[in-house]
Amino acid sequence: MTAHVAPLHAIRFPGESDEYREARNELLHAEIELRRHAEAVAAQRRGLPLGGELPTDYVFDEATGGQVRLSELFAGGQDTLVLYNFMFIGDGLESACPSCTSIIDAVDGEAPHIVQRVGLAAVAKVPIEQFRAHAQSRGWRNIRLLSSAGSTYNRDYEGERPDGSQNPIATVFVRRDGRIRHFYSTELFFAPTEPGLHPRHVDFVWPLWNVLDLTPEGRGTDWSPQLEY
């Protein structure tokens, strides 16, 4: 027999049974522990020592025209920069990745808030005209778009495999004492994954799955976002 779990509040919803409330109380304790652990992991991440110095000041093409160096992406006195490697797929990188598109669909709306604190941009290996055309088809208005087609950025920071295919990696750089250093990349993508689980390395910018996690069906194992429905 399951031990009684102490309630943490007095709220009850219409028609719920004692069985439901007991199970929900148990889940609430687990959610609190998850919240506590998530913050502990975030604190451990914040405590990382600085990584390696930028090997070169990469040059990107901008969707708005012209070129920009990575060092110039630290705008407005900010000392932190988040870059997301947006994948194009296919032998010739001719198609935009549906999953990356789902991510930036969401991030585009949040970008005006995010850039109050840190620099933010999406980087794709394809020519900037191709990336810009896809952005226009999605109605993106806020996210800064960059092409790394003329640099080794993707390859150097694990956004590209030896065969030229792309990886969906988010990377954080910091500027300290005038030097740019690598701080964090979403290496969970490269770690072993339990059967049936997503890598979850970029869930922090992908609300789709967090919404589905609230439902009885969950994420499922046979569905993924598409460019069109």
Residue 90 shares a structural domain with residue 181: yes
29 plus 73 within the same structural domain: no
120: β partners: 82
Residues 6+ apart with CB under 8 A from 160: 125, 154, 166, 167
73 shares a domain with 154: yes
Total domain count, the chain: 2
Q: Where are the beta strands (DSSP E) in the chain?
A: 59-62, 67-69, 80-86, 88-89, 95-96, 119-124, 145-147, 170-176, 179-185
Is residue 221 in some structural domain?
no
pLDDT at site 1: 43
Q: How many CA atoms lie within 13 A of 55 on its CB side?
A: 7
pLDDT given for residue 220 in this prediction: 87
Report how far residue 204's alpha carbon sits from residue 202's, in angstroms, rounded to the nearest whole number: 5
Q: What is d(CA 83, CA 157) in angstroms, rounded to the nearest whole number? A: 11
CATH code of residue 113: 3.40.30.10
Position 3 scores a pLDDT of 65
56: left (phi over 0), alpha (psi -120 to 50) or beta: beta
Q: Are 69 and 157 in a shared domain? A: yes
Give the integer Cα–Cα distance in Å for 49 and 40: 16
Burial of 127 (0-12, 13-18, 19+ CB in 10 A): middle
Give yes or no: residues 43 and 100 share one domain. Answer: no
In a domain, 90, yes or no: yes
> Is 137 among the domain residues?
yes
Residue 198 lies in a domain: no
Q: Is residue 79 a part of any domain in this protein? A: yes
User: Looking at the domain assignment, is residue 202 inside a domain?
Assistant: no
Q: Are residues 78 and 155 in the same domain?
A: yes
Report, as ranges of residue numbers, the positions in the chain whose pLDDT lies below 50: 1
Residue 85 is given by DSSP the state E
Residue 95 falls in which region: left (phi positive, over 0), alpha (psi -120 to 50) or beta: beta
Q: The domain containing residue 94 runs over which residues?
A: 59-187
